[in-house]
Amino acid sequence: MTPVLIFDIETIPDIDGLRRLHNVGPEASDHEVAEMGMLMRRQQSNGSDFLPHYLQRVVTISCVLRTDKTFKVWSLSHPETGEGEMLQRFFDGIEKYTPQIVSWNGGGFDLPVLHYRAMLHGVSAPRYWDWGDDDRDFKYNNYLNRYHTRHLDLMDVLAMFQARANAPLDALAKLYGFPGKLGMDGSAVWDAFQRGEHAAIRDYCETDVVNTYLVFLRFQKMRGVLSAAQYDEEIAFVRASLEDIGADHWFEFLEAWPA
């Protein structure tokens, strides 16, 4: 089988970038710089304080990799890994496995952020950026084209590429009987980061990426890629894999996931 890589990222305001762009010195705290950036954004964009993609700093990339034999969940996270190393290792994985990558709103958020930050850090990602120059198969199915499946933005596809039809992952996961978000959401990441709660951010991102994989399995069953029996087997395999990991957030996840 073609390896499948499901991914999700968590971000915080790029404090260094905000300081550089607005000539803010050390007299202002990181919190004050972030608040200033959000205020300026609010004034410029009809009330939204969500910073633009290029001013989002990546602090966690969580992944599920499903191969024909294994199910693996892991994270590349601050402070164990710097942002540039984190990004390079993520794209190195694509270079190694040439997987199908699956996301929830990856085309609208995660990948544009990764692009901007990868350029900032001088990351190399030739396989990801191949439009068919080196591999003719990529001319007709590459990671960059919205309508190709080498990157499947599950939210985008289910909404028929209509933004007004988009659904939140948390709501759909819970509707389909999966745990959904536990204990945190994206809006709480910056505050958690400032409190030094890096493990909590990582755990939250990992549960999000597993929720995405579970919704993807439901999608594959609907498409006929998985039979009902194969779907049930894969769900059981995911449960067993999470139990084997044995971390507290997976016990909480499994407890919230009725059999």
Determine the Cα–Cα distance for residues 82 and 71; give it in Å rounded to an integer: 26
Domain count, the chain: 1
In this prediction, residues 120-138 reach a mean pLDDT of: 93
Whichever domain contains 117, its CATH number is 3.30.420.10
Q: How confident is the model at residue 134 (pLDDT cuts 50, 70, 90)?
A: confident
Residue 125 sits at the vertex; the CA angle it makes with 119 and 128, to the nearest 5 degrees, is 115
Are the C-beta atoms of residues 13 and 190 closer than 8 Å to each other? yes
Are the C-beta atoms of residues 96 and 109 closer than 8 Å to each other? no
Which pLDDT score is estimated for 46? 57
Residue found under tokens 């995405």: 212
Determine the Cα–Cα distance for residues 191 and 214; give it in Å rounded to an integer: 28
Q: Is the model's pLDDT at 47 over the cut of 60?
A: no
Residue 187 per-residue DSSP state = G
pLDDT tens per residue, range 216-227? 999 999 999 999
For 58, the domain range is 4-255
Determine the Cα–Cα distance for residues 79 and 201; give it in Å rounded to an integer: 11
Tokens of 93: 């994985």
Q: How confident is the model at residue 42 (pLDDT cuts 50, 70, 90)?
A: low
Q: How confident is the model at residue 241 (pLDDT cuts 50, 70, 90)?
A: very high
- The average confidence (pLDDT) of the chain is 93
Are the C-beta atoms of residues 123 and 87 closer than 8 Å to each other? yes
Which pLDDT score is estimated for 27? 85
Determine the Cα–Cα distance for residues 100 and 174; give it in Å rounded to an integer: 25
Among the residue ranges 79-93, 141-155, 182-196, the one predicted with the least confidence is 182-196
